[in-house]
Every structure is written in structure tokens, then in C-alpha cells.
Structure 1
Amino acid sequence: MLIGLIADSHDHVRHIQKAVKIFKERNVELVLHAGDFCSPFTIPPFEGLTLKGVFGNNDGDHYLILQKFSEIGATHLGSFGEVTADQKTIALYHGTDMPITEALEQAGKYDVVVSGHTHEKKVEFVGNTLAVNPGTAHGFDGESSIALLDTDTMDVAFIELN
């Protein structure tokens, strides 16, 4: 199964649209967003994808973000989510509190931990747990990236958006 990973899009609609196009072209079956959409207007571009997401520390109007998720048939998991996909258990957390992120990675409970917040790409095994940060979709005058996770091989490929 191919899963699209995105985080820290921070209102950058053009990069979100690029990411969505890539996810659709690659036939991803699920998209996980690790938070910091920021504004509700960034949710509709994901329509047509199976999207699950969590809040980040910069997400503004939680009520309207939840409403936009509902309007496109997406699932919002609150501040933390557990997702099962292709018999893999995935933790989805923005990463605001680094000790929590590290505890999730070290717990041995999850096959994959997806986080964001640092805006830095990361892929490493912590014991048997694959820890992934797709980087920032926004870019902030630097590299803008998303990632693809193949649950069959547990390989992660980063894709630049700028």
C-alpha cells in the first residue's frame, strides 16, 4: 500500500495542490497529514483523497477545520491518531512536544510514527519502529517536501515540491 505523508503546509495552497496532484498520480490509497494546515481554506484541495489528519500547534480555527474535513469526507483525529493501514499500526502526531514524539517512537507499539513540526525530513528506525517526518510542505524559502511510504517494503521516498 502506498501512503502519502504531508505536514506543515502552513496555508501554502500552491504546494498543497502540487502534493495532491502527486498523490493522485501515484495512486496513493491514504494521505496522512501531521498537522499545521493553519487555515480551513487549505482543506478542500484534498477532496477526492482518503485523508486523515491531526492538529498542529499553528492550526487556527479548529471548528472550521473540522467542518472542512467533514465537507470533503476526510477524517480528523484530533491532536493524536492511531491509524491501521495494510496491517501496520501508525501513530500520527504533529510533534509539538519532542519527548512525546520520542516516546511514541521508542514505545515499540507502532510500526510507523509520522510526525512533523520540526520542518526537517527524517526517516529512521527506532528499534522496529519506522519514524518519519516528511518535512515541510510549505518550504519557508527552503526545501518543500512530502513523502511516500510503501507499507510492503517500509521504504520512504521524499519528493520536493519547489
Structure 2
Amino acid sequence: MIIGILSDSHLKSDYTKEVIDYLKSQGCEYLIHAGDLCIEKNLQLLEESNLKYIAVFGNNDRALLELSSKYNIKSEPYYFKIKNKRFKLMHLPYHLTPDVDIVIFGHTHIFEKDYKNKTLFINPGEVCAREKPLIECVKLEIKENEYIITRYFRDINEKNFKKEEYKYEQ
């Protein structure tokens, strides 16, 4: 199972489209957005990806609340399952408890990953390149006994994504 993870698109729908297209080119079967989509265009891009996706409202998404029935966007923390893995998705990192297999959050605009108490924690960083001149996203590959996290990042003045890979045994 291969999942693309992104967060904090803000008003950068061009970067959001680029990240979604890139994650699709890397074989992602699902997309998870950890909030602060800010504009309907970013939700449309998730919908138009033709991948199964889920998103949560961020602290800057009040204007999107009325669109919850049109798009697959939920209130946080949102619990769901893909195949045999249990997820908890949130924007604000207020529910970072190991009560599922994988916890995904955003808000800080900082890439983070940790594996403790048999729970994987991921913050994909920021799509919007607001806090630093980097467009970031994550590919999570879930194998039978291993998680492989690939962080993709691109300086806004460069053309190609670079990557870092991290592995955790389950």
C-alpha cells in the first residue's frame, strides 16, 4: 500500500497540483491531506486526482466548512482504516496519542517522523513554502513488516524534487 501525504497547502494551488501529480507519479494509491487547504481549488485538486483521498479541516479552513458534504473533508481528529491499518488524521498536533497504527498531523510546517509504542507519527511538512522556500510531501509505503517513509522536497527555485528515505520495522 502506497499513500501520499501532504499538508498546509494554504493558497498555493499550483504547488498543491504539482505535489499531487508528483505523488501519483511515485505510485501513490491514496492521498491524505492534514489540513489548511484554505481554498476550494485545493479540494478540487484532490477530487480530480482520481485517487481515494481524505482530508481534515485545519485552523485556516473555516471558509470550507460548508463544503464538507461535497468533498471528503472531516473534522479532526478523524479516525479511519485503510486495509488493516488504523489511522488518526488531524491538523493541530493536539491528539498525538498512540491509539492507532499511524498518526498524521500538520500545522507546524515542519517535517517530522517518529515510531514509538508501535505507532508511526508523520508530519509531511508544508506544500505552501511559507515558512521556508521548500515544497514538501511524503510517500508512505506500508509493507508487511516495514514502513518506508520517503520525504520529497523541492526548493521553489529548483525544478526537481530531492528525497530522503527512512525505514521502520513494524
Same fold (TM over 0.5): yes
TM-aligned CA distance change 1:81 to 1:62, over 3 Å: same
Asked whether the equivalents of residues 89 and 110 of structure 1 are also in contact (C-alpha less than 8 Å), the reply is: yes
Letter of the 1:5 partner, please give it: I
Gaps in structure 2 of 5+ consecutive residues: 157-170
Deviations 1:69-110 (A, max 9, x none): 1xxxxx222222112113111110102xx4x233x2xx3x21
Aligned equivalent of 2:5: 5
Task: Read off the aligned partner of 2:147 and give its amino acid letter.
Answer: M
Distance 2:70 2:25 in 1: 24
User: 2:106 maps to which residue?
Assistant: 116
TM-score, structure 1 as length reference: 0.85
Equivalent pair of 1:79/1:93 in contact (CA under 8 Å): yes
The aligned length equals 150
Amino acid at match of 2:141: D
Q: Residue in 1 aligned with 2:95?
A: 101
| Residue 36 (str. 1) matches residue 36 (str. 2) | yes
Structure 2 partner of 1:72: none
Deviations 1:102-128 (A, max 9, x none): 3x2xx3x21110000000000111221
* Contact 1:35/1:55 (<8 A) preserved: yes
**In structure 2, distance between residues paired with 1:132 and 1:158:** 10
| TM norm structure 2 | 0.81
Could you tell me which runs of 5 or more consecutive residues in structure 1 were left unpaired when the two chains were aligned. 70-74
Q: Displacement, 1:13?
A: 0.9
Following superposition of structure 1 onto structure 2, how do residues 14-93 of structure 1 map, counting pairs within 5 Å?
A: 14-46=14-46, 47=48, 48-66=50-68, 68-69=70-71, 75-93=72-90
Moved over 3 A (4+): none
Corresponding position: 1:156 with 2:149 = yes
Amino acid in the other structure paired with 1:52: I
Distance in 2 (CA, whole Å) between partners of 1:151 and 1:87 is: 10
> Is residue 94–residue 117 contact of structure 1 (8 Å, CA) maintained in 2?
yes
Please report how far the alpha carbon of residue 160 of structure 1 lies from its aligned counterpart in structure 2 after TM superposition. Answer: 1.2
Q: What CA deviation, in whole Å up to 9, does each residue of 1:124-146 have, x standing for no partner? A: 11221111000001111422200
Q: Which one has a larger percent strand, Structure 1 or Structure 2? A: 2
- Alignment identity in percent? 25
CA-based RMSD: 1.6
Which has more helix, going by share of residues?
1
SS of 1:62's equivalent?
helix
